[in-house]
Amino acid sequence: MESNHSKNKPQNKPEKEPGSLRAAALAVLVHLVFIGLLIFGFNWKEEPAEGMVVELWQDNPQPVQQPVVKNTPLPAPPAPPAPPPPPKQPPKPVPEPKIEPKPEPVKPQPAPPKQPDIAIKEKEAKAKAEAERIQREREEQKRREEEAQRKRQEEQKQRELEEKKKREQEEQKKREQEEQKRREEEAQRKRLEEEQKQREQEEQKRREQEEQKRREEEAQRKREQEEKARIAAQQAAAAAARAQVESEIGKYKAMIMAKIRSRIVMPPDLPGNPVVEFSVTLLPGGDILDVRLRKSSGYPAFDSAVERAIHLSKPLPLPLNPALFSEFRNLNVIVHYLE
């Protein structure tokens, strides 16, 4: 059945000639209209390429006639009727894809009809490119002319500016010369006035210096007298302050000794008047940090009694002024037996 189907195709071809001719004629008409629109639009936009467009118009008839005869592949769309035979052969669905590639020899046929269109498009592209090149050259020429004109105008303007600048410089030089002469005359006059003024100022300065020297000597004598008085006052104040400090220190040392003696339990019947000496280290606030025997009385009972009394006396009385604490930090306590 496949062979019969392929054989029937040539028999049906004459029946399709009228439709093919109509399709080919319609295709030619469409191409002609399209080319006409391209040529008309190109001529309307690019007048310089008008001659070349006419040439393309004359070449169109021959390439277009070829598609009329060889463009028979255009009826290819009717090929879909071929699928109906497969339903009659359900046992052989696989061979059908292999049979379809056989019409491949027909495929090269569409290539020749396209050559005229490609040639036309190439010519149109070349014509358009040539027109664009001419247009670019014209624009470039116009640009160069405008640039040359602009340069000439700038050069003319530059010359005018230079001439104007030269005139202004000459006028400026003349004004400067006149001004220089006026300044020199004015400087001479001022120099004479300045010399006279300087002599007067020097005389005035000499008198002022003498007066200044007299005032400075007087001020120096006054400062020396005031300094002497200030030093005397400071010395008196320092002596008074020292006396007050000594008095304060003596007072608190007496209070410390009194407190310690009040707590001594004297051993009875010691011969003579023995003396014991201790070194006491104090803390701020009157607490005792350390008690060390510096010199024994020779009577251990008396030494021990005094040491116990020192410990029992803490906190020892100290001045309220913290600056005086250094006088009490390391305190020597001397106790006489018969005091």
**In 3D, which of 277, 286, 278 has the Cα closest to residue 329?**
286
Show the tokens assigned to 106: 């027909």
Show the tokens assigned to 96: 């059908």
SS3 content of the chain, % helix, strand, coil (to 5): 75, 5, 20
What integer is the mean pLDDT of 167-180?
93
pLDDT at 36: 72
Residue position matching structure tokens 């008198």? 207
Classify domain 263-336 by CATH number. 3.30.1150.10
Where are the domains positioned within the chain?
Answer: 2-148, 263-336
pLDDT, tens digit, 9 for 90 and up, residues 53-87: 444 444 444 444 444 444 444 445 455 555 555 55
- CB 254 within 8 Å of CB 280: no
Q: In what side-by-side order are the strands of the sheet with 275-282?
A: 288-295, 275-282, 330-336
Between the CA of residue 237 and those of 224, 233, 242, 255, what are the distances in Å? 20, 6, 8, 27
pLDDT at 10: 41
**What percent of the chain is predicted at pLDDT more than 90?**
54
Q: Where are the alpha helices (DSSP H) in 46-110?
A: 50-59, 61-70, 85-88, 95-99
Q: Which of 62-76, 107-121, 141-155, 292-306 has the lowest mean pLDDT?
A: 62-76
**Per-residue confidence band for 2, with pLDDT thresholds at 50, 70 and 90:** very low
pLDDT at 109: 58
Query: Is 70 exceeded by the pLDDT of residue 8?
Result: no
Query: Is 90 exceeded by the pLDDT of residue 218?
Result: yes
Q: Who wins on pLDDT, 106 or 143?
A: 143
**In 3D, which of 239, 255, 224, 242 has the Cα closest to residue 328?**
255
